[in-house]
Structure 1
Amino acid sequence: MPKPEHPECEVGGGSGSASEPCNAKSIVPGIVRAFLRGDLSRVDSRLPKWLDVLASVGAGECWHKKSSFKSHLFEVYKICKIWGQDDDVCKCALFHSAYSNSYVNLAIFKESTDRSRLREEVGPSTEELIHTFCVVPRHNLIYDDLLARAPSAEELAVLDAAAGGAMSGTALAPPSLRRLIPPEGVTVRHIKTGEPVTVDRLTVARFLVMTMADFCEQLFSWQDAMFENHDGRLSYAGANHGSLWPGACKPGLWHSALSRMGALLRFACTGPDGRPLVPLPPVFEGCTQVVTEADQLAARDAYWSAVSEHSEPAQHDDALRLLRTACWHNPHVAEPHVLLAQIYCQRRQWADAACHADRAVRLLGCWGTSWDKRMPWDAWMAMARVLAHGAVQEVWPATSFGMLNLGLVPGLDEPYEVEEQTSMEGQVADNDSKTQSDREGRVVG
């Protein structure tokens, strides 16, 4: 789908009028609410026990990029669960590096002695998937065998524009994508023994979706600095290993690479009927859109300028311009909408505030993680819901103590059902048009 011509957002999110803005509490799926509440037995009755197993082997004491290893494993599980992946994939996500793998040395279970124990915990099919995930050279599989041979983000964007945004249909996918993975799968080398390992097409699809979840949960500017990801291709080519952790904690430059992985899921990881082999993650409008490296960099830089240099009230006109620019370049991130909703609530522009808050809630619900990792996902989600409620009620604090008093979201006592969430792209797409007050033309900061 081509990007809109201007960085604007229609009042009411496309599903209501200016006088009837969206009510964000109604579009938080049950599975998302269960994770927000920590109601883990509602997610899966076995989950608390599995987390106890991870705690018992010390996963909570091990470091992992922005958190502990246990926290990372749980977060990747959460994302896969929100994305509607099957039971084997979600359980694999929870234990995905348990024997160590080609990226990290975090062998909390010993391959030589603990496979039977893990098999008893998660079942034979899941344990086999975990083991395969840990012994294949995942970087070579994803980058050398797949992404390096697939069209670039720019090429995919050009092809999509030429098709009038119709590449969501498999038949219109580039032949190079549809033929990328042979029907029999891909053969790689075992990372320890060097023996050939055949990864069938379904397993490739599962590893792609887990890699998307794995990367979006952990990546921020520290990895960009360390691997010199200046071009945003996320190729892990640099060697700046002395870059101090955690660094500035800017949002990471990973959307372009993940959007290409999503295109592979849609067009290359398909069955004989042409349908994707795994539920498509709801991000990137159900994996129908790609983000170019140039767009993700422009969006990140505009957003970072807004939050780091234009956060005070006297600077909010510039912040609005920068945040709208960020949304235009990368419409798949929630955090610029949270800040826009704040400014519009302060200015009593309720319809615009409601639109952006609603968009933020929907996007955060799709991702299951935050892009700006200075604050955790649940904090961004809670603030977006507070903003949505304030916009609907047309009430926002005018004092500092009033701001400190914020926090309650509506509907906390309302029951909810936990259902498998396979797609939210329709909800996001319905809200992808732009608001009246933003109709000032495209201004790149």
Structure 2
Amino acid sequence: MEQTGIFKGRVEVRYNYGRFGWTRGGGKTWHGGIDIVGLDDTTIYMPFYMGKKITGTVVNARIVLNKSNRTWEWGWYVCVKLDKNQTPDTVNYLYFCHCASLLVKQGQKVSSGDALAVMGNSGNAADANPPYKHCHLETRATATGTGVDPTKYAGVPNTVGVYGNAAESGGTSAAPGAAAGATIIDVSKHQGDIDWAKVPYMAMVRIGYRGYGSGALCKDEKFDANLAGAKGNGKLLGFYFFSQAVTEAEARAEAEFCAKLAPSGYPLFFDSEWGHTTKTGTHDGRADSLSKAQRTACAKAFCERAAELGFTPGVYTFTSFTTTNIDYAGLCATWPGWLADVRANYDKALPRYIHQYAKSAKGGVAGIATETDLNKIIKELPKMDKPAAQTKQTISLDPVTLPNAAAMEFYLLAKKYGLDNDKYYHAKYAD
């Protein structure tokens, strides 16, 4: 994934008041930098100067909250003093502000592409309306001077918009997106050993499956290798699990099984299809005799539990299966759909975020020796913030303490409406 200014992948200048210059208060208030949102990666990197590598020294890496200090509004921030005679402009200092955390220390030498901090909204940014995570990039001639045009370092114009492209090259943060029109693949043990450095597409990785006969929950034999390879090479888009749940409780257990193995913050699809087809064409998998209503209820239970665990849930199946075996369209009213149909004239009325349209030839995808499913992103997948790693929590509304299920329901509702933990209620996680 290419670096776009201070982030890798796509970036956004979201609001007019986030631009550099007299952009606030109806043109009466000065904004000395440019506010940039990393859409595919939250790590802030040392930028290039119009493609040229530059170097410098970290002269400040700290949090400032004292309002008598002129930098108080920046919260966590990094200041880099550039080495001399690298650029033709007057800039000598780069400020990276409103960070959630810092990845460098004072006195450290840095160069273009080095990780500096993590995007946040500390300091004044926490009071923005609406609040949003971003990096305030400011460039100055002197450490205490007025900001000067930062666009040659920002890598974007001083205009509201989305810039950069991560559609085909992946991302390194949780839940990196793939833009509409991008080709993606899905992989499991059936693809064997994959050379992820050569793979040109982002991928859905199978976490595991429930045995169609035994009912045992099993990790995909290549999951660990595929997770490490896809994530390490910026190709991880999300996950899927082959379900053979016959009850809602089993479906919830499948989602919990996934959460123990895979990082949250990514899409997680409930894979619903025939469990086993005999030589005579009959289906005898443990879930194959479920009614449409039963299988739909299992999918719903899986998706609801996956969402509680911090994933963006969805449903995968194929067109003919939707007719009598699962209410795919109904489920897609709430969650993203992923539909397989290799016909040229497939049913376009069925909703979908992802369309599985073909298989490659053996070795048709670089880095993979086998056949591989090919998919097209029809609509960019929604993202969900990654929650804390624990899954149980209690919430105290003095003098009442809610049990786990009610606590989770309250937490999700509070999060939806922006009610802050420890301000309006107290939540703690328990093992």
> What is the TM-score of this pair, normalised by structure 2?
0.28
Higher Rg of the two aligned structures: 2
**Which structure has more strand as a fraction of its residues?**
2
Higher RCO (CA 8 Å, separation ≥ 6 residues): 1
> What is the TM-score of this pair, normalised by structure 1?
0.27
**Which structure has more helix as a fraction of its residues?**
1
